[in-house]
Amino acid sequence: MNPLGFSPGSAKERFCFRRMYKRKNNSANWQKLDNTANLFPAIATHTMTNVYRIAVDLNEEVDRNTLQKALDMVLPGFDTFNVHMRKGVFWYYFETNDKRAPFVEEENDYPCRYIEPYANNNYLFRVTYYKRRINLEVFHVLADGMGGINFLRELVYQYLRLRHPDIAGEQEDGLSDVTSLNTEDSYLKNYRKSHAKGYKTARAVEVRGEKLEAGELGIIHGYMPLKEVKEAGRSFGASINEYLTGLLAYSVFCEYLHGQPSLRPVVVCVPVNLRPYFDSMTTRNFFVMVSALFKPEKDDYTFEEVLDKIKASLKNQINKEHLEELFSYNVSNQKNIFLRSVPFFIKKIAMRFVYRSSARAGTTTLTNIGNIAIDDAYKDYVKRFYSMISVSTGQNIKGAVVSYNGELVFTFTSILADVSIQRRFFTLLVEHGVHVTIESNGVYYE
């Protein structure tokens, strides 16, 4: 009886089975955490989990056993996910995880919960399901959203091949052509010396208020036609990212600041995928945060005025030279000989202090995973994708965007009881000609 819990009968299963045991018979490999990943173990807690979710809705009910089998087969091929984290004297590091894949379970709790490094068979991600939905939750130490999509897409493909053998086609024993297995540290590869600090840490507006019960996370999805969002943004001379970021900043100004001036700016933190700028295919973290800033100095701003300030702020920062400046400064600290020799428990204290200062320089975060492409053979089985991110210090409400098959899904996560910012955001979209359907996880109606 094999420890995977299934008999590898088909060619596809025999291939994956052989690949798995080839890996397991090798001695454990290890690798350093990438530059961004070094921060997450130092700051992660049960209330600030640094866990994100990417989920997919299928057009059929999910079968747990098949999903478990698919995960068992796919995981060994992904070095980014097939690891556990160990603590060294100076830094954490990854080592190949020889334990069986995490157990797939039906979802029974709130999204983006803390992932205990020494539970879950020592894996730093979890796979759950609920009715027709498959959820992948990832501790950010492993990968950013692009790496998560890379893994989830192959998991879904394998699941559907097992459920529907007739759609396997030419991909029966291999990965999709668009799936990368690259695990390089692209921060180090593209690092340039002599960069000064490229970001500011001045305090921003913090959205506060009555909170939900401890452990609860409020989720609101907005489903809308991608074409209509593009047209609305175009009518204001803005890209989708600029338009949605401007809507979020304006909603905070209207609902939290009540349209009043503020000594502190409204700052929307926007993660930027660095891969297109530096020709990278890595499945590990490779992004930086830029800050879309709007300082309310009067009480009668129109949406257009706020959007213009947001657009100017983003355009000044999203260029290759500035992005390189941002991550090269961080890498230079990692490469500093003196800092490298400091024991990790001291680094951890310092990183937490620096993080708290920089985290309060943002009001909220808006991340856009982008448009997800699915191979034609699987399109009839996949309805939509979602993305969501956990809240963090100083940021009690966040937004995430993903698009698929002509639909854009905007998801708010929040630990605040008040939903006026979300309501204003979606109301503005409707006023701009976008048809929006709203869905919530129900915490606001209990």
Residues in the chain: 446
pLDDT value at position 4?
A: 32
In tens, the pLDDT along 37-83 reads: 888 888 898 999 999 999 999 999 999 999 999 999 999 999 999 99
Q: Tell me the pLDDT tens digit for each residue of 132-172.
A: 999 999 999 999 999 999 999 999 999 999 999 888 655 56
Continuous H helices in 336-372: 337-340, 344-359
Q: Are the C-beta atoms of residues 107 and 128 closer than 8 Å to each other?
A: yes
Read off the DSSP letter of residue 379. G
Looking at residue 172, what is its pLDDT? 60
**Alpha-carbon distance 280 to 214, whole Å?**
40
The answer to whether residue 442 scores a pLDDT higher than 90 is no
Instruction: Give tens-digit pLDDT for 386-441.
Output: 999 999 999 999 999 999 999 999 999 999 999 999 999 999 999 999 999 999 99
Contact 138, 112 (CB under 8 A): no
Tokens 């503020």 correspond to 262
Question: Can you tell me the distance from the alpha carbon of 141 to that of 123, in angstroms, rounded to the nearest whole number?
Answer: 11
> Quick check: 196 and 325 in contact, CB under 8 A?
yes
For residue 285, which of 39, 14, 37, 112 has the smallest C-alpha distance? 37
CB 147 within 8 A of CB 271: no
Q: Which DSSP letter does residue 88 get?
A: -
pLDDT in tens, 355-365: 777 878 999 99
218 in Cβ contact with 415 (< 8 Å): yes
- Average the pLDDT over 184-205 and give the result: 80
